[in-house]
């Protein structure tokens, strides 16, 4: 009975949040190394993993669909070998954080809805 | 929170059908209401345990993420509340039946 | 690992940029120091940044594909002295003038230092932004409980 109440989308939302948290780490690493010679900017490619999180409610084990850490090949490299564009990374940081917050809000609302359904409005 | 949820079920009346004529016999093959209830209690217990595990992992710097832990705690909380509501309704219904004049 | 672990990455960035700022401040303050305890004028200092991998213990359901890992901080591996020659200025009356009448001034170019100062400040602020974003995300996750 209890598990009828919780649909797979909830876990999908949580998994999506985890992916965005992971991406935040990659972006934060880029920013910490903005002055490190030879450091190449990285990005987390998680489109397929994100899709799975919502379609099936769980992350697949297929390595092709896992999130992967990729080097941003299009980023121009400066004289010291560093390719981190400060403004670009900060813009990505802002949108990534915004999505995480939005997902958290949706999850919170779902929970509130369930609580109301179970206990009635109080 | 390590309370064992199953003890709450101890207060429930025995739900096996005992009315004369077997008016409350479940359909053949389908689980009895009592069995469904017992199963639900077990699920609530599992969710409580999952929440405890997640909290411990979070507190000791383990692998649990904050949002997964919050979700586990909320699921345990809501399923518990749902079960309490069902339990209260069952007891109310039972007492209603007792009050009926034969 | 909760979102708080992300603070560690940005903390290393803040620390490294802070050290760089201190070094630049020292260069600027000593731009005209012709006499040091070691003898000779002040020598410009610079910091060397290297990537420092932080341990990753992310949930098993999401594994990184790169052996390098995603949690890469930074650290200052060295504070080195600039080996560029000092700036010689002809001033025979100066107490530190050499026999030819030239005074050795530090190899510090204030303009270069100011540019570095701005870069380091921007980098520092960027790491602050990362910390703020992580803090907002953490608050959002806590609100799931209602």
Choose the closest CB to B61 out of C1, C59, C146.
Answer: C1
Contact (CB<8Å) B74/C141: no
Contact (CB<8Å) C145/B62: no
Interface ipTM: 0.84
* pLDDT score recorded for residue B65: 87
Q: Residue A116: enclosing H or E segment and its boundaries?
A: helix A86-119
Asked if pLDDT for residue B19 goes beyond 70, the answer is no
Chains B and C form CB pairs within 8 A to the count of: 36
Q: Which residues of B touch C60 (CB under 8 A)?
A: 63
- Residue A21, chain C, CB below 8 Å: the answer is yes
Q: Which residues of A touch C136 (CB under 8 A)?
A: 97, 101
- φ/ψ of residue A61, rounded to 5: -90, -10
* pLDDT score recorded for residue B64: 82
pLDDT digits (tens, 9 = 90+) for C43-76: 999 999 999 988 765 543 344 444 456 788 999 9
Distances in Å between the Cα of C95 and the Cα atoms of A101, C31, C34, C104 are: 65, 17, 10, 11
Asked if pLDDT for residue B92 goes beyond 70, the answer is yes
Enumerate residues 28 to 67 of chain C having a beta carbon within 8 A of any beta carbon in chain A. Answer: 49-51, 58-59, 61-66
pLDDT, averaged across chain C: 87
Choose the closest CB to B65 out of C2, C142, C145.
Answer: C2
Triad C96, C98, C102: Cα angle to 5°: 90
Distances in Å between the Cα of B71 and the Cα atoms of A109, A121, B68 are: 12, 21, 5
The answer to whether B54 and B73 are in contact (CB under 8 A) is yes
For range B45-62, the mean pLDDT: 88
Higher pLDDT, B34 or A64: B34
Would you give per-residue pLDDT tens digits along chain A (122 residues)? 445 567 778 888 888 898 999 899 999 999 999 999 999 999 988 887 777 776 765 655 565 667 778 887 788 899 999 999 999 999 999 999 999 999 999 999 988 888 888 887 54
Contact (CB<8Å) A35/C120: yes
- Residue B42, chain A, CB below 8 Å: the answer is no
* pLDDT score recorded for residue C125: 96
Choose the closest CB to C141 out of B62, B63, B67.
Answer: B67
Q: Which residues of A touch B36 (CB under 8 A)?
A: 1
Q: Which two tokens stand for residue C121?
A: 């400040």
* pLDDT score recorded for residue C2: 61
- Residue B11, chain C, CB below 8 Å: the answer is no
Name the nearest CA neighbour of A39 among A77, A67, A70.
Answer: A77
pLDDT digits (tens, 9 = 90+) for C95-129: 988 899 999 999 999 999 999 999 999 999 999 99
SS3 content of chain A, % helix, strand, coil (to 5): 60, 5, 30
Overall number of domains in chain C: 1
Please state the domain extents for chain B: 31-99
% residues pLDDT > 70 (chain C): 87
With cut-offs at 50, 70 and 90, classify the pLDDT of residue C31. very high
Q: Name the residue range of residue C98's domain.
A: 4-145
Q: How far is Cα C12 from Cα A28, in angstroms, rounded to an integer?
A: 10
Asked if pLDDT for residue B13 goes beyond 90, the answer is no
* pLDDT score recorded for residue B39: 82
% residues pLDDT > 90 (chain B): 20
Higher pLDDT, A115 or B12: A115
Q: Which residues of A touch B85 (CB under 8 A)?
A: 118-119
* pLDDT score recorded for residue A25: 92
- Residue B95, chain A, CB below 8 Å: the answer is no
Handedness of CA B81, A113, A97, A12 (dihedral sign): positive
With cut-offs at 50, 70 and 90, classify the pLDDT of residue B18. very low
Higher pLDDT, A105 or B21: A105
pTM attached to this predicted model: 0.81
Disruptive mutation site among C18, C72, C76 for chain A (greatest number of A CBs within 10 Å): C72
Of all residues in chain A, the one with the smallest CA distance to C15 is: A32
Handedness of CA B58, B61, B67, B68 (dihedral sign): negative
The listed range with the strongest mean pLDDT (A23-32, A51-60, B24-33, B50-59) is: A23-32
List subunits contacting chain C, requiring 3 or more Cβ pairs under 8 Å: A, B
- Residue C24, chain A, CB below 8 Å: the answer is no
Higher pLDDT, C1 or A56: A56
With cut-offs at 50, 70 and 90, classify the pLDDT of residue B85. confident
* pLDDT score recorded for residue C59: 40
Q: How far is Cα A109 from Cα A33, in angstroms, rounded to an integer?
A: 37
Residue ranges of alpha helices (H) inside B28-65 are 33-59
Contact (CB<8Å) A29/C133: no
Residue with structure tokens 């974003």? Answer: C133
């Amino acid at each position: 009975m209890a598990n009828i109440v919780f649909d797979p989308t909830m876990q999908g939302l949580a998994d999506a949040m985890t992916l965005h948290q992971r991406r935040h780490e990659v972006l934060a690493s880029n920013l910490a190394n903005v002055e490190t010679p030879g450091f190449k900017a990285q990005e987390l490619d998680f489109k397929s993993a994100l899709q799975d999180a919502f379609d099936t409610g769980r992350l697949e084990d297929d390595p092709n669909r896992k999130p992967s850490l990729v080097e941003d090949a299009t980023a121009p490299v400066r004289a010291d070998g560093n390719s981190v564009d400060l403004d670009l990374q900060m813009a990505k940081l802002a949108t990534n954080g915004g999505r995480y917050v939005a997902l958290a809000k949706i999850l919170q609302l779902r929970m509130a809805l369930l609580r109301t359904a179970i206990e009635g409005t109080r | 929170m390590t309370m064992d949820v199953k003890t709450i079920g101890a207060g429930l009346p025995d739900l096996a059908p005992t009315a004369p004529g077997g008016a409350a016999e479940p359909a053949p093959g389908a689980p009895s209401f009592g069995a469904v209830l017992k199963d639900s209690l077990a699920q609530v217990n599992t969710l409580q345990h999952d929440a405890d595990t997640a909290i411990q992992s979070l507190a000791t710097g383990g692998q649990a993420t904050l949002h997964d832990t919050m979700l586990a705690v909320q699921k345990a909380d809501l399923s518990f509340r749902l079960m309490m509501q069902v339990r209260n309704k069952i007891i109310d219904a039972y007492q209603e039946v007792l009050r009926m004049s034969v | 690992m909760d979102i708080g672990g992300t603070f560690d990455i940005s903390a290393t960035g803040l620390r490294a940029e802070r050290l760089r700022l201190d070094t630049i401040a020292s260069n600027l303050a000593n731009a005209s120091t012709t006499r040091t305890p070691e003898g000779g004028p002040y020598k410009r200092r610079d910091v060397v940044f290297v990537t420092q991998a932080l341990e990753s213990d992310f949930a098993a359901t999401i594994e990184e594909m790169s052996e390098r890992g995603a949690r890469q901080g930074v650290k200052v591996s060295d504070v080195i002295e600039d080996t560029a020659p000092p700036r010689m200025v002809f001033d025979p009356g100066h107490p530190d003038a050499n026999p030819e009448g030239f005074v050795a001034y530090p190899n510090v170019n204030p303009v270069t230092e100011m540019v570095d100062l701005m870069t380091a400040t921007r980098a520092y602020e960027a790491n602050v932004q990362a910390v703020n974003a992580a803090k907002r995300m953490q608050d959002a996750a806590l609100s799931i409980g209602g």
